[in-house]
Amino acid sequence: MRGMSHPAPETPTDWDALVTSLIASRQSVPPKRLVAPGPSAEQLSRLVQAAHTAPDHRGLQPWRLIHIADDQRAALADLFEACSRDREPDLPADRIADSRSKAHRAPCLLLAVLCHQPEDPEVPATERAVSLGAALMAMLLAAHGMGLAGMLTSGRAVRTARFAQAFGLAAHEQAVCFVSLGTPHGARRRDRGDASARISPWISARHGPGT
């Protein structure tokens, strides 16, 4: 429930049960299924702090978040439309309306940005992306613990020069995805299936199986 608090676990076993339950019960909820209320200012601050705990090789802080305020949604809708028209000048009216509507979904909207500077030969781009991914997952889990939900969404507009310019991104920055947050409404639980196929033993080229 929204605002519910859990007693502090006293043993590692308590922590295991609480964390496992939180992770297992989390699910992504589409922006159109996210309604008010979204996170309060205090909750949003806690969500960003949760993201800040993500692994960060050499402390480069390779990501940042941009908050799109409510009074900026119309400007974002204009940007979405412009990016769509760049790809397809004769875009039908219904697709323009759909493109614009995405700017007004979910009570809270953030843009996740990946940073490729400062340069460090020990931290390749893949590690920076992993750090951002871990930060976003920490944020989604923390939101779930608050009784909220969220989803990461992207699209071709996010990867355009027009979009980067509109958000004032530096040459070494890359817009990755939006983070939509709010209260879930009418969301359906998705069956993730069996995770056992996600892991396998290493079979080296030098040594065959079982050696």
CATH number at residue 158: 3.40.109.10
Position 160 in a domain: yes
The count of domains in the chain is 1
Return per-residue pLDDT of the chain as tens, 211 residues: 344 455 555 666 688 888 999 999 999 999 999 999 999 999 999 999 999 999 999 999 999 999 999 999 999 999 999 999 999 999 999 999 999 999 999 999 999 999 999 999 999 999 999 999 999 999 999 999 999 999 999 999 999 999 999 999 999 999 999 999 999 998 778 788 889 999 999 998 876 655 5
Position 125 in a domain: yes
Going through the chain in order, the beta strands assigned E by DSSP cover 34-35, 63-68, 108-115, 149-153, 173-184
CA distance 7 to 197: 35
Position 207 in a domain: no
Position 153 in a domain: yes
Do 165 and 91 contact (CB within 8 A), yes or no?
Answer: no
126: containing domain? 29-185
Position 193 in a domain: no
Position 168 in a domain: yes
Nearest Cα neighbor of 6 from 137, 144, 136, 138 is: 144
Q: Which residues lie closer than 8 Å to 171 by C-beta, 6 or more apart?
A: none
